[in-house]
Chain A
Amino acid sequence: MQLTAICILSGEARANLTKTLRVMQLTAVFLTFISLYVSAKSLSQNVTYSGRNVKLENVFQSIEKQTGYFVFYEDYLLSEAKPITIKSKDIPLEDFLRRLLADQPFTFYVEKTTVFIRKKEPEFEKPSARNLHPGPLITVRGRIVDEYDEPVQATVSVKGANSSTSTNTNGEFELNQVDDNATLVITGVAIETVEIKLAGKSDLATIRTTRKIGEGSEVVVIGYGTQSQRDLTGAVGQVKAEEIKNLPLVSVEQVLQGRVSGVKVKRNSGEPRANFGVNIRGVNSTSNGGQPLYVVDGVPLAAGTLSNINPADIASLDILKDASATAIYGSRAANGVVMITTKTGSGRGKDIIEFSTEAGVQTAVLPFKMADAFLQAEIVKESLTEAQIAIPAELNDPKWLGENNNNWQDLATRPGGFQKYNLSLSGGSENTQYLLSGFYSNTDGVLINTNYKIGGFRLNLDHKVNNKLKIGTRLSATQDGGNEPQTNGFWSVWKQALMDMPWFPHKDENGNYRKITTTGVQAANSFNNPISEMEQNVLHNSANSFVGNIFLEYELLKGLKFKYVLGGEVSSTRIYNFLPIYDHGAYSRQTTDVDDQTFRNTNWVSDVTLSYEKRFSNVHKVTALAGYSAQRYDSRFLKVKGYGALNNEINQITGQPETITTGGSTPSGLQSYFARAFYSFKDKYLLTATIRRDGSSRFSPSQRWGNFPSASIGWNISEEPFMNSFSSVSNIKLRVSYGLTGNQDIPAFSYIPLASELGNGYSFGNAFAPGFAINSPSNENLQWESLKQFDAGLEMSFFNRRISLTLDYFIKRSDNLLSNTAVAPTSGYIGTLTKNIGIIENRGFETDISTVNTVGRVKWTSNLNFAITKNEVINLGLDINGDPMRYFGTTIYQSPATLTTAGHPISSFYGYVADGIWQLGEEAAAAAMLSTLRPGDMKFRDLDKDGQLTAEDRTFIGSPHPTFYGGFTNNISFKNLTLSIFTDFAMGAKVLNTPRMLGESTFWYQGAMEHMKDRWTPTNPSNTLHRSAMSTAAYNARPSSWYVEKSDFFRINNVALSYDFPRAFTSRLKIQALRLSLIGNNVYTFTGYRGYNFEAHTGSDTKNDPLNFGLDMGTYPLARMYSLKLNVTF
């Protein structure tokens, strides 16, 4: 009953956790309880038991008493038990269980300190007759692994005979006295049964088996602990190491791409340094990009060192989606939580060395050809003629054009090579497990002079000091760096290269960079020589980072554990920008310019948790968790700018005649209490309740604390007796959850009026004078953005788990949005005022389907997931006229590209509706709409019917959010060959194609795309492509339905074909396994979208701005990649 006391306490805590409740009190209660029930009795994992014709449950009770393990089973099962006669002395628990249950219709598995008793899977068919021609008796050896080469625990028995054995920890077995013509049957709790005909062979080498799909015993990682899949009442998606083993993945986000329903991952641009945006269940906020919280081995990241986790080290990614799962992370969980768990050693007594190397090449995916000199000249000439400007003679000279015909896109791109190495050593003993790994990769980008290198190592260590005390650590350190000389961003040199005139040579006849001359046609150039900038400028971005923790776990009492985790994340980033002296005519630089910036972020988190786990009377199972967490995040920077040196050798700060230094520091902190209680009755009825109370330094003391509760229930329908008759149904679970999470993602100290130093100060008499001012208004009443989420889920599996299906329906409602509202200019503030205004709703339906399509010689498994989501802004407040507030996005060609307002998805595209081209004979009608319009110009629909083309004719022209998206993975293996194909898809989203906007605009001297050869001319009355005209260029290019394109796609994202060398070959090389893979990445996309990035996430390449979604800015192009990979296991 004392245990129920804990439950009641946490129940009360949930009900009225107020400011008066302090963790101290809670802990005191716990600790008092502990001290009352302290037992010095030591527990062992060995069992001594003797009995004759005893009941099975009596043996179980004895096991529980001796080992402290719980034995879980269904009462009805025991009715099938036979009486037991057994005699054993001090033998390991598992061996004891194996002997105990050998003749029983049960099997077991051990998970942590729990023994689960289950009904044996249907036995293979009993042999009807013994082999009539017995051969000689031999000794058979072999090693059993799963499809991912992991050793498997299994029983090997001879079909029709009584002899059998179990595999050792390394999956190896030896069976004596076997008929050389016998058939071996391999069974195991986690694998599909396999039969093998010996046919005289004694060394069976490696036997590959298939893991059962969706096994209910699998463990998912949840906040501050783990839970078996069967007990889970929240929506959690999981990606396991095996699924990504063969893929050339560069980042954690890429691992998430298309593998779990409802998780949308978009690659913002194709630079070699990964740059992704992740949204779980839609965009829920107007003030940040809705990126999830990442928790690495228990450390919630704050400084964003995510890119430095080597995907090869990942054991599992668990994506917490609904409030039941996320509320334990309270104020940061509104956008979902991704739990990243790294691998540990196996502890099976043998060290395993794994090495892999991969090398490949990537090429840019370029959707457009740019016009050659002749076409460009035609377009420019038409534009100049229209503006009554004389045409430079060169443009009428075919010889000159032929000689000066540069393809800038080709000059700026190249095939980029890449290589990657992974080495890991893992193993350990029963008491100590370790994993030591290192990796290095080097990628050359597809734009010239861009590259990225990263290397690092990891040490994961777990040590059992005694039966009660466990300590361990997770440590990883990485270093990375890359050069990206202004190749990203809207006005990147890459974009300038696209827009430059083909007749400008990038180098002169002497091999020097082209100078911009002031005469002739070249005088009209707008840009510096982009190739020279890409080759000469240096923008080097490098970082050292560390993420890790140390932990201590002590079992205070049977089932009651204390855990302390001290985690840290430290990163130090340097951005070094060097602009050399060069003489390019108008764009010359007389002195050097060096920018050297260092950012140091530290994030320390200290977690204390107490957890309790107990099963009573075999029907009640209770787990409880209570904890306290304190987190401090400090962000510091030091920037030095130097300039004025006259020699390019002086490319560091030292030596620059002039320097200016600035620096700053921003602290923030979070203090939290949390608790979770779980109860299940007969493993059928499940209940989970969590609460977190967060205090954040980002809000004023009066608004600082917030409570984030959630509750969920689950029903394992398949455990009901009435389901016994449905033998094809392996598992059905229904679950429902509701809860509250928050978002605190605003700048630190938004609640205090701050006189900040003005970046640019003032000068008195040419001497710099620092200045202070209050730039932004503050809001003392700021509160958490709060997100209420409802989720209903159904989990099913059929035909012995050959088909598993998960369905979820959710409604997410973000309230009190942290909105940056404009202030009247008369207020004298430059910044915006952050207020809690507005509601956004996301609702949707998610499905994950896993199937084992075929087993046997050809094994084929599939995983399909998809989500249907709908995003709607419910309310963003009212403007002064009482109309719904409108937030416009980036303005492109004098008109905003997006509009966020009530009743529409966030960041909906906004603009004119294109309606063909004004044709000859329609001069008067065109001019009536807008005086400057002529035949050949774009015709926009007059939506307000006022006879004129005005801003009132703009409307909503599409949503950037897919309504249907997901991924489809297939693994097919035949003998030693395995083919993995990962595809993903999305429908319903649109993208604004700004590269095409520029490439069709024919604005002055601006690079045109090749398809503009079909533009409107008096002799080619196109009804789609407008004419070349300077005076209406900006008008034609305005955001309109002509440039907002459907981005529906189906992409063959990854293909990997692997060959496992046969054991006979590998054993000669004295290695365990050898695998060669041919891998393709971003192989082919079926899409109607014409642009650089159909998944464009945002207008800015560094920030995921929720008010500017779906803008393809033609930034760093995406790459297609092919590689060869070799895996060796020693």
Chain B
Amino acid sequence: MKKIIYILFTCFFILTNSCSKKTIDLDPVGQLTADGAFSSGDNAVLTLNGVYRPFADLFGYIQGLSIALEIKSDDAFDAFDRTAPYKIDNETPETPGAAIDTWKYCYVTIQRANFVLSKLDGVPFTEEQIGAGLKESIAGQALFLRALSYYYLVNLYGGVPLFTEYKADPEASQIAQSSIVDVIAQIKADLNAAAEKLPLKSQLTGGNGFEIGRATKGAAYALLAEFHLILEEWQEAVVASNMVINSNEYSLRSTDDYAKNFAGLDENGPESVYEIQYGNTLAPDGAVNDLMVYYTVFQAPGAVNAYFGGPVTNDDADLPSYKGYGGNGLLQEWEPGDLRKEVVLTTYGIPNPIDPTKPDLWLPLKYYTPSPNIDGSTPINYNVLRYARTLLTKAEALNEVTGGDPDAAAIVNQIRARAGLAALASNIASSQTLLREAIWKERRLELCYEGTRYFDLLRTGRYIPIMEGKVNITVPRARVIPHPVTGKDWYLWPIPQNELDINPNIIQNPGY
């Protein structure tokens, strides 16, 4: 009998022991819940860092918006003609590639930015963090990144769904497009708010949330200036540019140092306003956290399998099967003695990969590193906004406000002088039309492979004539709308099919 009681006791002991609630009432380990992500100022910074990431993906490794913006302009071509995403004339909504990923990563950024903005008020910042303005800075960065996302979206896709609130439920995001005008208003509001909250570049002195490379007041104004330029709001463009220029936070590098802007040396230097940050650091999962500008693949000598050709050969007849893509003029555009050319272009001594019997292709040298990663990616930052661009923006706006504005010509001459070129002839400097042409040319050369050419062609109404006249691509007219603000012909990208498949409220852009 005693034995039985002992056994019973054991049974109960075992049962009660294993009945412990901990078996299934478990909490995730090492992962933050939605609230945990804002349980301290430090955690809020970590979550803010997550807002930066999608742009690194979008311009970097596979997604390559950096490539798409060049391929869609007259500055580069698809050497192998086999990656439809970057071709204009046969693009379809099903097509994988830049049209899908740009849409997706911009909305990932927007969702994450909204997440940060919605939770920021509840974050228990320390006294010190409040004193340093961390909360304001976080809000400003989130607003800037949201505006940057909408900047690309509205310029590439026209009116897009507009979110300013965080939506946890994915089905709540299935809304219709807003008008281009509404999106524009939101971008302006976000940038103005961001500019107020963001620190100056010189205030990025390290410390959690204040590392170099984060968005700054200057970045917000510089982007605003670009946006005004697109909208032909010249006076506002001048004002916004001046906010950057007069802040004394930026300056042009010397001629000798010009290459440093693109060579991974002294990154975030005096001319840098906003760069997508890539670093020679390995991510925790071993992925390379680097920029993959496709044309840098060519920099690995002999790795000639890369998908994208450079822009230029001397003769477009050299590329019989890719007729029309070559010889579009960037190579010929440089004036003799322009010191920038060798910083930007090279043949790398590689035979023409398409046809070795033909002259070598000229390939981009920006973002070149002598020791790229094995996959061809490089750790060099990608320029989104550079001081020289803001200067040229101001010059262009000034010239539009007052034709032949001497200040405009002075800015162009400042850029030209650094490139080792003489000042503009006085007849050019004094003519609104000629000066405008000169500024456009300067933008093309100074800012090539920095994602400006495609938008410059669109906003100035030159996209169709240039692509059809010089590059021999038929731009499908059905995909072109008049921009509601400027009236310029605006070529729209397709709404990705995976959005159309799920979101019943969205309408495909015309021509697709």
Taking CB atoms and an 8 Å cut-off, the chain A residues in 525-557 that contact chain B are 525-526, 554, 556
Whether A764 is near chain B, meaning CB under 8 Å from some CB there, is yes
Find out whether the CB atom of A23 lies under 8 angstroms from the CB atom of B26.
no
Whether A822 is near chain B, meaning CB under 8 Å from some CB there, is yes
User: How far, in angstroms, from A35 to B1 measured CA to CA in the complex?
Assistant: 9
Residues of B within 8 A of A658 (CB): 282
With A755-B33, A772-B32, A825-B496 in contact, is A764–B213 under 8 Å at CB?
yes
Find out whether the CB atom of B283 lies under 8 angstroms from the CB atom of A760.
yes
User: How far, in angstroms, from A389 to B52 measured CA to CA in the complex?
Assistant: 44
Residues of A within 8 A of B1 (CB): 38, 40
CB distance from B91 to the nearest CB of A (A): 14
Number of contacting residues on A, CB 8 A? Answer: 100
Taking CB atoms and an 8 Å cut-off, the chain B residues in 91-135 that contact chain A are 94, 100, 103-104, 107-112, 114-115
User: How far, in angstroms, from A648 to B174 measured CA to CA in the complex?
Assistant: 54
Whether A142 is near chain B, meaning CB under 8 Å from some CB there, is no
Whether B426 is near chain A, meaning CB under 8 Å from some CB there, is no
User: How far, in angstroms, from A517 to B351 measured CA to CA in the complex?
Assistant: 11
Find out whether the CB atom of B7 lies under 8 angstroms from the CB atom of A824.
no
CB-contact partner of A556 in B7, B43, B175, under 8 A: B7
CB-contact partner of B19 in A630, A665, A765, under 8 A: A630
Whether B254 is near chain A, meaning CB under 8 Å from some CB there, is no
Find out whether the CB atom of B285 lies under 8 angstroms from the CB atom of A828.
no
Residues of A within 8 A of B287 (CB): 759-760
Whether A251 is near chain B, meaning CB under 8 Å from some CB there, is no
Whether A134 is near chain B, meaning CB under 8 Å from some CB there, is no
CB distance from B222 to the nearest CB of A (A): 19
With A769-B49, A880-B503 in contact, is A825–B34 under 8 Å at CB?
no
Find out whether the CB atom of A628 lies under 8 angstroms from the CB atom of B161.
no
A733-767 interface bits toward B, Cβ cutoff 8 Å, 1 = contact, 0 = none: 00000000000000011001111111111111111
Residues of B within 8 A of A556 (CB): 4, 7
**A639, A641, A826, A828: residue with the most chain B Cβ atoms closer than 10 Å:** A826
Find out whether the CB atom of B496 lies under 8 angstroms from the CB atom of A23.
no
Whether A519 is near chain B, meaning CB under 8 Å from some CB there, is yes
Find out whether the CB atom of B107 lies under 8 angstroms from the CB atom of A389.
no
Which residue in chain B gives the minimum CB-CB distance to A525? B305
Residues of A within 8 A of B357 (CB): 390
Residues of A within 8 A of B104 (CB): 825, 830
Find out whether the CB atom of B107 lies under 8 angstroms from the CB atom of A763.
no
Whether B29 is near chain A, meaning CB under 8 Å from some CB there, is yes
Whether A274 is near chain B, meaning CB under 8 Å from some CB there, is no
CB-contact partner of A669 in B23, B43, B109, under 8 A: B23
CB distance from A226 to the nearest CB of B (A): 22
Find out whether the CB atom of A822 lies under 8 angstroms from the CB atom of B502.
yes
Find out whether the CB atom of A763 lies under 8 angstroms from the CB atom of B277.
yes
Find out whether the CB atom of B52 lies under 8 angstroms from the CB atom of A762.
yes
Whether B268 is near chain A, meaning CB under 8 Å from some CB there, is yes
CB-contact partner of B356 in A24, A523, A586, A661, under 8 A: A523
Which residue in chain A gives the minimum CB-CB distance to B503? A824
Whether A729 is near chain B, meaning CB under 8 Å from some CB there, is no
User: How far, in angstroms, from A46 to B465 measured CA to CA in the complex?
Assistant: 107
CB-contact partner of A670 in B24, B56, B283, B304, under 8 A: B24
Whether B362 is near chain A, meaning CB under 8 Å from some CB there, is no
Residues of B within 8 A of A759 (CB): 283-285, 287
Residues of A within 8 A of B213 (CB): 763-765
A380-401 interface bits toward B, Cβ cutoff 8 Å, 1 = contact, 0 = none: 0000000111101000000000
Whether A520 is near chain B, meaning CB under 8 Å from some CB there, is yes
Residues of A within 8 A of B4 (CB): 34-35, 38, 556
Whether A619 is near chain B, meaning CB under 8 Å from some CB there, is no
CB distance from B66 to the nearest CB of A (A): 16
With A608-B18, A669-B23 in contact, is A754–B212 under 8 Å at CB?
no
Whether B355 is near chain A, meaning CB under 8 Å from some CB there, is yes
CB distance from A259 to the nearest CB of B (A): 36
CB-contact partner of A764 in B8, B211, B353, B371, under 8 A: B211
Find out whether the CB atom of B15 lies under 8 angstroms from the CB atom of A628.
yes
CB-contact partner of B53 in A587, A666, A773, under 8 A: A773
Whether B320 is near chain A, meaning CB under 8 Å from some CB there, is yes
Residues of A within 8 A of B17 (CB): 606
Whether B337 is near chain A, meaning CB under 8 Å from some CB there, is no
Find out whether the CB atom of B107 lies under 8 angstroms from the CB atom of A587.
no
With A590-B371, A828-B108 in contact, is A665–B30 under 8 Å at CB?
yes
CB-contact partner of B26 in A663, A668, A762, under 8 A: A668
Which residue in chain A gives the minimum CB-CB distance to B214? A764
A209-233 interface bits toward B, Cβ cutoff 8 Å, 1 = contact, 0 = none: 0000000000000000000000000
Whether B476 is near chain A, meaning CB under 8 Å from some CB there, is no
With A767-B281, A823-B170 in contact, is A520–B356 under 8 Å at CB?
yes
CB distance from B152 to the nearest CB of A (A): 14
User: How far, in angstroms, from A517 to B356 measured CA to CA in the complex?
Assistant: 13
Find out whether the CB atom of A758 lies under 8 angstroms from the CB atom of B24.
no
Which residue in chain B gives the minimum CB-CB distance to A557? B4
With A757-B31, A880-B504 in contact, is A392–B356 under 8 Å at CB?
yes
CB-contact partner of B286 in A590, A595, A749, under 8 A: A595
Residues of B within 8 A of A564 (CB): 14
Find out whether the CB atom of B108 lies under 8 angstroms from the CB atom of A754.
no
Residues of A within 8 A of B88 (CB): none
User: How far, in angstroms, from A748 to B33 measured CA to CA in the complex?
Assistant: 13
Whether A843 is near chain B, meaning CB under 8 Å from some CB there, is no
Find out whether the CB atom of B211 lies under 8 angstroms from the CB atom of A827.
no
Which residue in chain B gives the minimum CB-CB distance to A528? B374
- Which of A79-87, A695-703, A792-800, A801-809 sits within the interface? A695-703
User: How far, in angstroms, from A671 to B31 measured CA to CA in the complex?
Assistant: 24
Residues of A within 8 A of B163 (CB): 826, 828
Find out whether the CB atom of B286 lies under 8 angstroms from the CB atom of A769.
no
Find out whether the CB atom of A755 lies under 8 angstroms from the CB atom of B50.
yes
Residues of B within 8 A of A763 (CB): 56, 213, 277-279, 281, 289
Find out whether the CB atom of B50 lies under 8 angstroms from the CB atom of A696.
no
Residues of B within 8 A of A588 (CB): 374
With A639-B285, A760-B287, A772-B50 in contact, is A754–B33 under 8 Å at CB?
yes
Residues of B within 8 A of A27 (CB): 11-12, 15
Whether B364 is near chain A, meaning CB under 8 Å from some CB there, is no
User: How far, in angstroms, from A636 to B496 measured CA to CA in the complex?
Assistant: 38
Whether A17 is near chain B, meaning CB under 8 Å from some CB there, is no
Find out whether the CB atom of B284 lies under 8 angstroms from the CB atom of A757.
yes
CB distance from A21 to the nearest CB of B (A): 13
Taking CB atoms and an 8 Å cut-off, the chain A residues in 13-46 that contact chain B are 23-24, 27, 31, 34-35, 38, 40
CB-contact partner of B56 in A525, A753, A762, under 8 A: A762
Residues of B within 8 A of A783 (CB): none
Whether B251 is near chain A, meaning CB under 8 Å from some CB there, is no
With A762-B56, A765-B268, A825-B498 in contact, is A630–B289 under 8 Å at CB?
no
| Interchain residue pairs with CB less than 8 A apart (29) | A35-B4, A388-B320, A390-B356, A516-B302, A526-B305, A608-B15, A630-B23, A660-B284, A661-B284, A748-B26, A756-B31, A759-B284, A761-B49, A761-B289, A762-B50, A765-B268, A765-B279, A768-B279, A768-B289, A771-B47, A777-B168, A777-B170, A824-B503, A826-B163, A826-B173, A827-B171, A828-B108, A828-B167, A830-B104
**Contact surface of A with B, Cβ cutoff 8 Å:** 23-24, 27, 31, 34-35, 38, 40, 387-390, 392, 516-520, 523-526, 554, 556, 562, 564, 585-590, 595, 606, 608, 628, 630-632, 639, 641, 643, 658, 660-671, 695-697, 701, 704, 748-749, 752-774, 777, 822-830, 833, 879-880, 951, 1034
**Contact surface of B with A, Cβ cutoff 8 Å:** 1, 4, 7-8, 11-12, 14-20, 22-26, 28-34, 36-37, 43, 46-53, 56-57, 82, 94, 100, 103-104, 107-112, 114-115, 161, 163, 167-175, 211-214, 267-268, 277-287, 289, 300-305, 320-321, 349-351, 353-358, 371, 374, 379, 496, 498-499, 501-504, 506
* Further contacts, 13 of them, CB under 8 A, given A590-B371, A643-B282, A824-B498: A38-B1, A608-B18, A660-B286, A669-B23, A759-B283, A759-B284, A762-B49, A764-B213, A765-B277, A772-B47, A827-B174, A833-B170, A951-B94
